[in-house]
Chains A and B, each alone.
Chain A
Amino acid sequence: MSGVRHLYVHLPFCAHRCGYCDFVTVVGRPNEHERYVDAILAELALERPLLADELDTVFLGGGTPTFTRPAALVRLLAALPRAVEVTVEANPETVTPALATLLREGGVTRVSLGAQSFEPRLLRVLERSAQPEDVRRAVYALRDANFDNISLDLIYGVPGQSAADLERDLGAALALEPDHLSCYELEAKPGTRFTHTFGDELARQADAMEDYLERVVERLTGAGYRWYETANFCRPGAPAAAVDFRARHNLAYWRGRDYVGLGIGAVSTLGDDRWRNSPGLARYMAALERGAGPPRDHEALDDAVRRRERVMLGLRLDEPLVLDGAENVLDPEALERLQRLGLARADASTLTLTDRGRFLGGGVTAELLA
C-alpha cells in the first residue's frame, strides 16, 4: 500500500511566548481552540488521499499541544488516523494525572516534555514557567498512566550557564530515567526578543561553551544512552524484541521520508514538492471553513536538492548514510580531505561520520556538499 506514512499536526497555542522561540505560536485564544481543531480536521480530510491507510507515526507539535483545551485535544486525537507511534509535545506544568490519562486513552504512545533546565535561574532567563518540581511531577504522572516512552528536552548554552550548571541539569534529567533525551544548544535566532537581549552575551560566551556538546555526549553515553542523532539520545533498545526508543517520527525526517503536515506553518514534503502552510491563524481557519485548502507556499525540489538534503539529514545519525546516488552531490576532494582528517569514512555505498566528525557535523556537511 503506497501513501505517506508520517503525519505532523501543528497545535500553535501557548500560555506565553518564550523569548528565544521562533516557532509559529499563538498566545492564549482559548475560544479559538475548537475552531482550529475543526480546521485541522478539514485539512486532514482534504489530504487524506495522500496518506496511507495505516500510518507509521503521528506527531503533535507546537506551540504547546497540551495547552490546547482538553475537549478539543480529545476530539483531535480521536479523529487522527491510527499509527505505531503517536507523540505529543507537552510543557511540564500542563501535565496533570488527568491529562496523562486523557493522552493515553487518546492513543498517544510517547510524550516529549519540554523541561529545558532544572535550574530556576536559567528557567527564568528562558522565560519558562515550569519549575524543576513540575518536571518531576509530570514524569511521575506519565509513568502512572503507563507511558513507557518519555522524552525530555534540555537546552544548554543558556546565558550565565556554567559547566557545573550543565552537569547538574544532566544529572537531574538522568535521575528521572527518561527513555529519550533531546539536548539542544540554545540558538540566538535572528529577530527574536531573546537575541535582542542576550545576543552579545551569547557571543561572548561562545568560546567557554565550546565543549558543552562534548560534555553532554560524554555524560549521556556514559550513562548508557545512545547518541543516535546530533541532538538526540535514547536508552538502548532491544532489537530482538523490536524495542527501539529512537524517535520514530523524527527518524523519518532524517532518513528523507515523505511527510504531511497539518495546521498553520506546517510543512509537507512529497516527492519533488514541498509546501508550507501560511502561518496566519485567521486565514487558515477561514479558508478551511470555506471548504478551500489553506494558503500555502510551494517549493520545487529537484533531484540534486533532495540528495543534498538526504546527506544533510542522514549525516546527523549514527547509522551509515546509504549513498544511493547522493555521491553525485558530494565534493570528492572534500571527502578525501575529511577522511584524511579522520572526520568521515566512506566506502563504495555508504558514508559515515566519525565521532569527531559528528561534533563538527555542520561544517563537515557544508564542506562535503559540492
Chain B
Amino acid sequence: MDQQHIRNFSIIAHIDHGKSTLADRILELTHTVSAREMREQVLDSMDLERERGITIKAQAVRVDWKDHQLNLIDTPGHVDFTYEVSRSLQACEGALLVVDAAQGIEAQTLANAYLALENDLEIVPVVNKIDLPQADPDGAARQLADLLGVDPARVLRISAKTGVGVDDVLDAIVERVPPPAGDPGAAGRALVFDSSYDQYRGVVAFVRIVDGTFTRREQLQTMALRTRFEAQELGFFSPGQRAVPSLEAGEVGYVITGLKEVSELRVGDTITSQRAPAAEPLPGFKDVKPMVFAGLFPTDSDQYPDLRDALEKLKLNDAALFYEPENSQALGFGFRCGFLGLLHMEIVRERLEREFDLDLLVTAPTVAYRVSAPGDGAIEVHNPAEMPDEFELVEEPYVKASIIVPKAYVGAVMELNNERRGRFDHLEYLTEERVHLTYELPLAEIVLDYYDQLKSRTRGYASFDYDVADFREGNLVRVDVLVGGETVDALSLIVHRDSAYGRGKALVEKLREEIPRQMFDVAIQAAIGSRVIARETVKARRKDVLAKCYGGDITRKRKLLERQKAGKKRMKQVGAVEVPQEAFLAVLNLGDAQR
C-alpha cells in the first residue's frame, strides 16, 4: 500500500485507564475480530497479562479503516520496559494518549508522553471512561491540553467500554497522524521493535519497514549484531499471523527468521538486505543492561534442573533476562538473575512459579554496583557476596523519579524520599490539586519496597515512574550475617552506612526467632568486615528426649526419630547449625515489613 494510506500508532495509558479496552473496541469496530472471536484484552495472550491488566510483550495489529491501513502497536507501559516502549514508539508516527476521566494524568502517562514527544510523534489526546459517574472529562481534558499545549477542544472524549467516540478516534488517527515518510526506493531498512519465539519456526521479529521493500526468501542481516538469516515468511497480524509475499516501506509486520535464540536479534536493531545493505542503521540501538539482580533458588534442590530449563525457555522470549549459575553455601545451587526492574523480576518469578510449577526462594533484590578495588580496577558487582572486603570507591545507580500525587500527600512523599536518601529536584502543580514531584534517588532504595511504601503513605493516590540516570559514589558497606561464626552468603547486603545498624539488627532479630534451638548456643551476628554491629543468641536446648519407650511403642518411637532425622536433612546446614528453609524465607521477606 502506498504510504499516504498508512498510519502507525500506539496507545499510551496508565494501568487501568482503558488501553486494552480501547484496543478491543478498535478491533471490533474495524471488523478485524468477529464478535464470536472477541474476548477481553484480546491482544494480551499471557495469563499474567490478563490477570494484572498489563501488557508485557508488544503486539502489532493491522486494521482497515476507511481505505487506510492502520497499524496499532500495543506496548508495555511499564518503566521496566522503557527501552522497548521507546523502540515501539519509534516505529510509529502517532500515539493515542489515553487518560481516565476520573483519575487524570498519572506518572506513567507523563513519562510515556514525554517519550512520545521525544520521538516526534503526533499525540492524539483521549479522555476515556466519560460514562463513569465520578468522571470529570473537562478536568482531565484540561490537564491533557495543558500538558500538550493544545486546545482542549482537540481532546477526544470517549467511553471505550460502551464504544462511544471510538470511531472519532479512528478518524482522528487518519486525519492527524502523518503518514510514514520513508523512501520506498532506498535500500531496505526495518526496525525491530520486539520479538517472540515460536518453538517450530524460531525467532519471530516484529518490524516496522522504514525504507525499501522486503520479500520472502530474501537473505537478510541485522546491522548491530550482524546476525544473518533468511526471511522464511513475512506477514502482519490481524490479530493472527497473515503471510504476505512482501512488506513495503511504512508497513508494520513480522519476519520469521528461523533463528534459534532471541539474543541473536535484539530490540532496536535494524534489519537490512545482505545483497544491497543500507549504509546506516536506524538510530537508537542500545544494548539494555539489567539493573536489578537477585538470586533465585529452588526451595527443593531437586528442582534445580527444572529451574535451569525454565529459565532457558523464558529467555527464548525475553532477551532482557540475564542469568548465570550461582552456588550459595546456604541455599545450594541456583541462579543469579538480572532484570530490567522490579516488575520484570516479579513477572519472571511469577511465570517460573506458575507456568513451570517451581517453588522459589528469591534473595533480596540488589542493584549493579561499580566497585573500584585496589589492584582489580573497576568491577561490576551484582551479588553482595562478591563485594570485595576492601575497595577504594563504590558507585551506585541513581534514578530520576517522577511522582504525581494529590497535594495533601506531598509532605508524606517528601518524608519517604528523605528517608531513602533522595535529592529533591523539582515541584510543579499540574492542577490546583495535583502535584508533580521529581527526585533523584538511589535505585537500591527503590528496589526495597519503595513502591509499596509510597502507595501506603499516600493511600494509593501516588503514581510513580523512574528512569535510570547515572552512577554516583555512595557511602556503602557490605553487611554480612554470621550464624555460628559462618557467613551466610545469601543474606549479605550492600547498604548505606547510616542504615547498616538498623538493617543488621532487624536481620539478626528475625533470624533468632526463626532458627530453632540447637544442641549448643548459636551466635547470630551482623558484621561489617570483622566488626560485629548486632548480635543475638539462640540458646541451646536443655532437653530433647522421648519421654518413655517400652516394648509396645518401639516402632512408633523409631519412626518419630526417623522423621526427625528426615526433617534435619531438609534443613540447610550453616556450619554446624541447622537452619530451616523458612528462616531464610522469613529473613528474605523482611524487606517488605521492615521499614
Contacts and interface: CB of A to CB of B under 8 A. Distances in A.
Interface in B190-233: none
B554 A309 contact: yes
A211 B554 contact: no
Interface stretch (A78-86, A91-99, A122-130, A263-271): A263-271
Contact of A313 (B541, B554, B562, B576): B554
Contacts of A182: 548
Interface in B542-595: 542-552, 554-555, 557-558, 561-562, 564-565, 568, 576
B541 A299 contact: no
Contacts of B147: none
Interface string B526-548: 00000000000000011111111
A359 B551 contact: no
Interface string A210-231: 1111100000000000000011
B558 A305 contact: yes
A173 B186 CA distance: 107
Interface string A342-370: 01000000000000001111111111010
A362 B545 contact: yes
B262 to A, nearest CB: 46
B552 A359 contact: no
A185 interface: yes
A364 B568 CA distance: 11
Given A211-B543, A214-B542, A359-B543, A261 B552 contact: yes
Nearest to B567: A366
A212 B542 CA distance: 10
By DSSP majority rule, is chain B's interface helix, strand, loop, or mixed?
Answer: loop
Nearest to B544: A363
Nearest to B519: A360
A250 B550 contact: yes
Contact of B558 (A266, A267, A312): A312
A269 B541 contact: no
Contact residue range for chain B? 20 to 34
Nearest to A361: B545
A210 B543 contact: yes
A198 interface: no
A362 B557 CA distance: 10
A316 B557 CA distance: 13
B561 A214 contact: no
A323 to B, nearest CB: 18
Interface string A324-339: 0000000000000110
Given A305-B558, A309-B558, A343-B519, A359 B548 contact: no
A299 B554 CA distance: 12
A130 B548 CA distance: 22
B114 interface: no
A147 B546 CA distance: 30
Given A253-B550, A313-B549, A360-B519, A366 B568 contact: yes
A362 B564 contact: yes
Contacts of B519: 338, 341, 343, 360, 363-364
A266 B552 contact: yes
A158 B422 CA distance: 57
A104 interface: no
A245 interface: no
Contacts of A316: 549
Contacts of A338: 519
Interface in A193-239: 210-214, 230-231
A341 B544 contact: no
B485 to A, nearest CB: 14
A259 B547 contact: no
Nearest to B578: A367
A184 interface: yes
A337 B564 CA distance: 17
Contacts of A363: 519, 541, 544, 564
Contacts of A341: 519-520, 576
A274 interface: yes
9 contacts: A230-B549, A231-B545, A253-B554, A261-B552, A312-B554, A341-B576, A361-B545, A362-B561, A362-B564
Instruction: List the 8 shortest-distance A-B pairs measured between CB atoms, nearest first.
Output: A366-B564, A363-B544, A366-B561, A360-B544, A185-B547, A213-B543, A366-B565, A362-B544
